Amino acid sequence: MAKSPEEEHPHKALGWAARDSSGVLSPFPFSRRENGDDDVTIKILYCGVCHSDLHSCKNEWGVSRYPLVPGNFMESESLALNAPGCVATHEIVGVVTKVGKAVMKFKVDDKVGVGVMISSCKKCDCCKQDLENYCPQMMLTYNSINHDGTKNYGGYSDMIVVDQHYVLRFPDNMPLDAGAPLLCAGITVYSPMMYYGMTEAGKHLGVAGLGGLGHVAVKIGKAMGLKVTVISTSPKKESEAINSLGADSFLVSTDPAKLKAATGTMDFIIDTVSAVHPLLPLLSLLKLNGKLITVGLPEKPLELPIFPLVLGRRLVGGSDIGGIKETQEMLDFCAKHNITADIELIKMDQINTAMERLARSDVRYRFVIDVGNSKL
Amino acid sequence: MGEISEQVNQKNALGWAARDTSGLLSPFTFSRRATGEKDVTFKVMYCGICHSDLHMLKNEWGVSTYPLVPGHEVVGLVTEVGSKVEKFKVGDKVGVGCMVGSCRSCDNCANNIENYCRNYILTYGAKYYDGTITYGGYSDVMVVDEHFVVRIPEKLPLDATAPLLCAGITVYSPLRFYGLDKPGMHVGVVGLGGLGHVAVKFAKAMGVKVTVISTSPNKKKESIEHLGVDSFLVSRDQDEMQAAMDTMDGIIDTVSAPHPLLPLIGLLKSNGKLVLVGAPEKPLELPVFPLLLGRKMVGGSNIGGMKETQEMLDFAAKHNITAEIELIPMDYVNTAMERLLKADVRYRFVIDIANTLKSSS
């Protein structure tokens, strides 16, 4: 008989989980593994609420998660499962309470973070090049299934045990609560900005969508010396985008005249929008050789008009978080430039209301759960 | 005085044109401008038939004006040069591709990418600087600004080289730009037609391993034995496609009909690039997850600039690359168009203009 989540492992843990695709979360007792030689045990203090959490808790991605050839799925991962419970989040910050014998990088009381992945094969070309995020055996922090059949539970809980390789050192001067979202949102926009060359001062970056990812992209873009335009469907975000986040300009994407005036002005666009949306208006904003990099994960495929790609030698690319080395580099970059997320701190028992508001984009710009001070 | 002498010096020209969206071609007399000080005038020897000609003849892109004289894979012999022409002399073997003009002052023109100039002028069906409509290479003579004329290397045969002026540059440019030209790389070519077969030849000459992806199993034998392709995938065969997943550094997609991108994205390794050079009119479905999970890209490319077109021809000469052609007389052109529509050609029709385009008198 399969063991219950509480009995699977030796250390009792408390979390909040969604039990079914309603996505409603409630207290969920489970257990964590023994701290192995390479492991770090972390008492969780804060965790960010990522839009992926919402998608996962409601099982919105379902089969669309791995459609590499229609009907086929990646061998190493399975469908998003709710049973027995989905304990989400991968923007986890806390303090070390125990380290294994082989752990050199961390000691008890260190402030650390855990992001989107907790394991990979460590042997393939991707892993050897510090691109664990593209390893075919990369294991996500939550909702993934281990080789022994047990399930991984994320940061909506009091503690977590993680292989030291996948733990990040939190910079001293970075506040834990406002730094938590960087572990997913931050690296998700930082990595493509580095890879696709969006680091040359003076170049023009468009950021589509001003939410958790978008607002961090604006801050990082400005720190890199880029000119930044926010592209959004919400005119009421303009004042804050410019006055508070430092964007150079703001484009309402549903205004045809404004779009036309901005045609062919941007070197890059980071598209953070996770709903299905038209690409043609965004492609028209790009200069020759311009790059539209999508980091949001819509449920359905998007429509890609080909003429703008051909006539302007433009490209649409994707990017998925970043490797561990780059995630650490991103944290250090943000610490140096005093970049953190703009957050709304909540208690664990407010998570369901937060999820409803997140579905309506009613947050400036990331909820962070004060786990350390919440009753789980 | 000047105006009269211009009219006197205009040349009578004979071509074949379509008069309406049926796209049916028939003889058409018109005139070419007098040879200007920077112009090169040449007798057309051969002209390739590009699939774009078919789209334009039938106004499928909605931009055609009639009468339409197509042809942008044109080769011939120089008969006259203007007083300020420096690069060419009478008797030279020359070619003209898809453009005959551009603004010459923007950044793109200054950087030798006239093909991305906002005001570039197409070889046929476009408005020239003097307000006249351009007529293409299905004709006996052309007058072109020397900047848009390329030299055909001595060792290349004119007829089989003509298709390189559009098909050739269209696939050469993205192989270079997207870095799919490094020895040892693995590149896929989707579609084995005029563009596809030339892409195979260029990629092989660059030391790249080539896999053709096609809907036609009957093209397999010839592509491996004759074109030197390393492997061949039938795109409808799910098992073959599955086995080849995650193996390619890049793919040059020459198919202009609507087709699914998902299986092609699956063939790419991480960081792989799918480059479209065919341009379907309607948008294609872009599955986002596979793009993200492998940091893959979908890009486009449109012909190439004049400098790169010359470089492409010189590369072709060095590696003995020409197109596989079916040489036809001018009056076969309508039949050729019907066959082209059914992709019934190995792999490009070329019109033997000099020997078969005759005036009816």
Give the whole-angstrom CA distance, residue B30 versus residue B27: 10
Taking an 8 Å cut-off on Cβ atoms, the answer to whether B301 and A304 are in contact is no
Q: Which residues of A touch B (CB under 8 A)?
A: 64-70, 72, 126, 131, 134, 195, 279-280, 288, 294-298, 301-320
Q: What is the mean pLDDT of residues A97-105?
A: 96
**Please, are residues B74 and B144 in contact by the beta-carbon 8 Å criterion?**
no
Percent of chain B with pLDDT over 70: 97
Q: What is the mean pLDDT of residues A49-67?
A: 70
Tell me: pLDDT of B128 over 80: yes
Residue A80 has a pLDDT of: 46
CA dihedral B192, B195, B201, B203 (to 10 degrees): -100
Using CB atoms, pick whichever of A295, A304, A311 lies closest to residue B286. A304
**Please, are residues B198 and B179 in contact by the beta-carbon 8 Å criterion?**
no
Residue B358 has a pLDDT of: 84
Residue A162 has a pLDDT of: 96
Q: Which of residues B155 and B279 earns the better pLDDT score?
A: B155
Task: Catalogue the E-assigned strands of chain A.
Answer: 11-18, 25-32, 39-49, 92-99, 111-114, 117-119, 139-140, 159-163, 167-169, 204-208, 227-232, 249-252, 266-271, 286-294, 302-304, 315-318, 343-346, 366-369
Q: What is the mean pLDDT of residues B226-234?
A: 96
Residues from chain A contacting residue B294 (CB–CB below 8 Å): 134, 318
The whole-chain average pLDDT of chain A stands at: 91
Residue B335 has a pLDDT of: 98
3-state secondary structure of A134: helix
Tell me: pLDDT of B318 over 50: yes
- Selection from B309, B310, B355 nearest residue B328 by Cα: B355
Q: What is the mean pLDDT of residues B330-341?
A: 97
Give the whole-angstrom CA distance, residue A146 versus residue A168: 22
Residue B92 has a pLDDT of: 98
The whole-chain average pLDDT of chain B stands at: 95
Give the whole-angstrom CA distance, residue B146 versus residue B345: 33
Which H/E stretch holds residue A280? helix A280-284
Percent of chain B with pLDDT over 90: 92
Residue B8 has a pLDDT of: 57
Taking an 8 Å cut-off on Cβ atoms, the answer to whether A304 and B298 are in contact is yes
Taking an 8 Å cut-off on Cβ atoms, the answer to whether A302 and B273 are in contact is no
**Please, are residues A369 and A156 in contact by the beta-carbon 8 Å criterion?**
yes
Query: What single DSSP character describes residue A350?
Result: G
Residues from chain B contacting residue A67 (CB–CB below 8 Å): 262, 287, 289-290
Using CB atoms, pick whichever of B280, B292, B299 lies closest to residue A315. B299
User: Residues in chain A, how many?
Assistant: 376
- Selection from A147, A162, A141, A149 nearest residue A5 by Cα: A149
Taking an 8 Å cut-off on Cβ atoms, the answer to whether A302 and B245 are in contact is no
Give the whole-angstrom CA distance, residue A119 versus residue A139: 5
Residues from chain A contacting residue B285 (CB–CB below 8 Å): 301-304
Give the whole-angstrom CA distance, residue B202 versus residue B337: 26
Q: What is the mean pLDDT of residues B37-47?
A: 98
Residues from chain B contacting residue A129 (CB–CB below 8 Å): none
Tell me: pLDDT of A297 over 90: no
Residues from chain B contacting residue A68 (CB–CB below 8 Å): 245, 262, 266, 290
Q: Which of residues B161 and A85 earns the better pLDDT score?
A: B161
Q: Does B240 touch chain A (CB under 8 A)?
A: no
CA dihedral B98, B324, B346, B303 (to 10 degrees): -20
Residues from chain B contacting residue A117 (CB–CB below 8 Å): none
For residue B25 the two structure tokens come to 């071609």
Q: Does B277 touch chain A (CB under 8 A)?
A: yes
Residue A44 has a pLDDT of: 97
- From residue A258, alpha-carbon distances to A187, A232, A272 in Å are 31, 12, 20
Give the whole-angstrom CA distance, residue A363 versus residue A343: 8
Residue A83 has a pLDDT of: 64
Please give the model's pTM, rounded to 2 decimal places. 0.92
Give the whole-angstrom CA distance, residue B114 versus residue B117: 5
Per-residue pLDDT of B5-20, as tens digits, reads 445 568 999 999 999 9
Tell me: pLDDT of A292 over 80: yes
Taking an 8 Å cut-off on Cβ atoms, the answer to whether A315 and B301 are in contact is no
ipTM associated with this complex: 0.91
Residue A12 main-chain phi, psi, to 5 deg: -65, 145
Tell me: pLDDT of A62 over 80: no
Residue A67 has a pLDDT of: 31
Give the whole-angstrom CA distance, residue A2 versus residue B335: 71
Residue B96 pairs in a beta bridge with B74
Give the whole-angstrom CA distance, residue A131 versus residue B273: 18
Q: Averaging pLDDT over each range in A70-74, A85-89, B74-78, which range is the top one?
A: B74-78
Q: What is the mean pLDDT of residues B320-329?
A: 98
**Cα B208 from chain centroid?**
22
Per-residue pLDDT of B246-280, as tens digits, reads 999 999 999 988 999 999 999 999 999 999 999 88
Confidence of residue A108 (pLDDT cuts 50, 70, 90): very high
Residues from chain A contacting residue B273 (CB–CB below 8 Å): 315
Which residue carries 């030698």 as its tokens?
A313
Residue A85 has a pLDDT of: 80
Tell me: pLDDT of A15 over 70: yes
Give the whole-angstrom CA distance, residue B193 versus residue B216: 11
Taking an 8 Å cut-off on Cβ atoms, the answer to whether A308 and B300 are in contact is yes
Per-residue pLDDT of A314-357, as tens digits, reads 999 999 999 999 999 999 999 999 999 999 999 999 999 999 99
Residue A65 has a pLDDT of: 39
Residue A149 has a pLDDT of: 80
Query: For strand A343-346 and strand A366-369, is the pairing parallel, antiparallel, or unpaired?
Result: parallel
Task: Catalogue the E-assigned strands of chain B.
Answer: 11-18, 25-32, 39-48, 74-81, 93-96, 99-101, 121-122, 141-145, 150-151, 186-190, 209-214, 231-234, 248-253, 268-276, 284-286, 297-300, 325-328, 348-351
Residue B2 has a pLDDT of: 45
